Structure 1
Amino acid sequence: MVIPQNTTTDSATADIRYDGPVEVTSWAVAPVLAESTALDFLNTSLYSTGRQIDWLGSGAALVDWLQQVQLLSEQEALEVRRMARLEELDTVAAGARQLRDWFRSFVLRYHGQALTGDALHDLAPINDLLRADALHLQIHVRPPPSDVGSTVSPLHGVWKRREISSGALMYVLGEAVAHAIASLSFANIKYCQGRNCSLVFLDKTSRLSRRWCSMATCGNRAKQASHRKKQQKNPPHAS
């Protein structure tokens, strides 16, 4: 599944770079911190200590990540691993990386502003991908509500694919991306302000004040740098 790449940029996005090192080597798996699965999808590729890290570098890695972010259930992931050949999965992973590149360019172009209907002309690749998907609606029992007195129906409709094959993985990803485009507030999509960090996230704080991908990494380093700078300006007096 080939996804056409949109590499258009403008002056509003030209200052964002992806070629600087960021210290994330403590993460054994792809970071899940963006408050959006589709944005976490973008964060599966970054640079660390001068080398690129790609958590979708193979078909097996793609299935692992889809299970990690719960786009595939454990049973579905097992079924894909059992039925699909490794070379088939690797081909799908290559398509996933192309989809990621396209979505990255879309987010670069439109983040920090409200989406309008004018964005539709850039959405042909994702619409073309999803047009080939095959879904059907089934009625399932809803998980028990936490509120004992709830009047919510115990049944609900769930969209299902006829099968979860290697080829269907692109539709799983495409659906997550399309849902994000249709539902997220792009005005609140931000890039981490950490030095040379390329991670993206949705700011859901009440005051829209989030600055870092994670306080444990970039936020903590920024605090340490600020503290050192203050110490240099105001060194402690010798006793």
Structure 2
Amino acid sequence: MSERSAAPGGLVLVEGLVNTLDLETGADALDTADGRARFGLAEGGAAGVEAARGLREALRAALLAHAGHPPHREVVPLGALLARAPLVVTVDPADGSAALAPVDEGPLLSRVAAAVAEAVTAGTWTRLKACEAADCHWAYYDRSPAGRGRWCSMQVCGARAKMRRYRAKGA
């Protein structure tokens, strides 16, 4: 959907999960075995896929909030989901650096919680946003100097929005 470069660090996991659903076409990568495998979801685990979809939409709502937009629909708050993710503090013996890590590498929720914690610590969490276009809401990492990006792609969603504004003026 976007020509932007991937989000930094663990945010690439969050960005990838949100972008498993193309709102314009309705295509959902979690409907495919490859899409589920990409996120460590067990084959035939319908409950895990539904939980991943709920997490995806809670993340999308948070990313819309980062961009100053209301949620696209009613979702379980992201904080309520992440509160269930067991994390531990790990310390690298070589340099003494510390990080939050999932207790178990398997569950998607724990890996997302660790990625969010890492991004909050790095100051990058609020730069991950969802496109303001109602038929898109694609996740993207806002690398603009002022951090005020609005669309996943200026050439597609941005151009459409500008054309709609132009036409609405009656020009």
Q: TM-score, normalised by structure 2?
A: 0.57
Q: Work out the CA distance in 1 between the residues paired with 2:148 and 2:64.
A: 20
Offset, 1:101: 1.7
Give secondary structure in 2 for the equivalent of 1:206: coil
Kindly provide the CA deviation profile for residues 73-98 of structure 1, in whole angstroms up to 9, marking residues without a partner as x: xxxxxxx6xxx86223x432221111
* Number of residue equivalences: 151
Quote the Cα distance in structure 1 between the aligned partners of 2:79 and 2:65: 12
Structure 1 counterpart of 2:156, from 191, 195, 218? 218
Displacement, 1:190?
4.8
Q: Is 1:97 matched with 2:53?
A: yes
Question: What's the Cα RMSD here?
Answer: 4.3
Residues 7 and 128, structure 2, Cα contact 8 Å, conserved in 1:
no
Q: Summarize deviations over 1:92-139 as a string: whole Å, max 9, x none.
A: 2221111112222334445439xxxxxxx9723321x21xx2646363
1:59/1:92 contact within 8 Å kept: no
1:137 and 1:158 in contact (8 A); partners too: yes
Q: Equivalent residue for 1:45?
A: 21
Q: How does 1:128-207 map to 2 (within 5 A)?
A: 129-130=84-85, 133=86, 135=88, 137=90, 139=92, 153=95, 156=97, 164-165=105-106, 168-180=107-119, 183-184=123-124, 186=126, 190-192=129-131, 196-207=135-146
TM-score of the superposition, structure 1-length normalised? 0.45
Q: Distance in 2 between matches of 1:176 and 1:137?
A: 14
- Structure 1 partner of 2:74: none
Look at both structures and tell me which one has the larger radius of gyration over its CA atoms: 1
Deviations 1:181-217 (A, max 9, x none): 674464x5554366843223342222446444135x5
Alignment CA distance shift 1:34-1:54 (3 Å):
farther
What runs of 5+ residues in structure 1 fail to find an aligned partner?
Answer: 1-23, 67-79, 114-120, 142-152, 230-239
CA distance in 1, matches of 2:119, 2:92: 24
The residue type paired with residue 19 of structure 2 is N
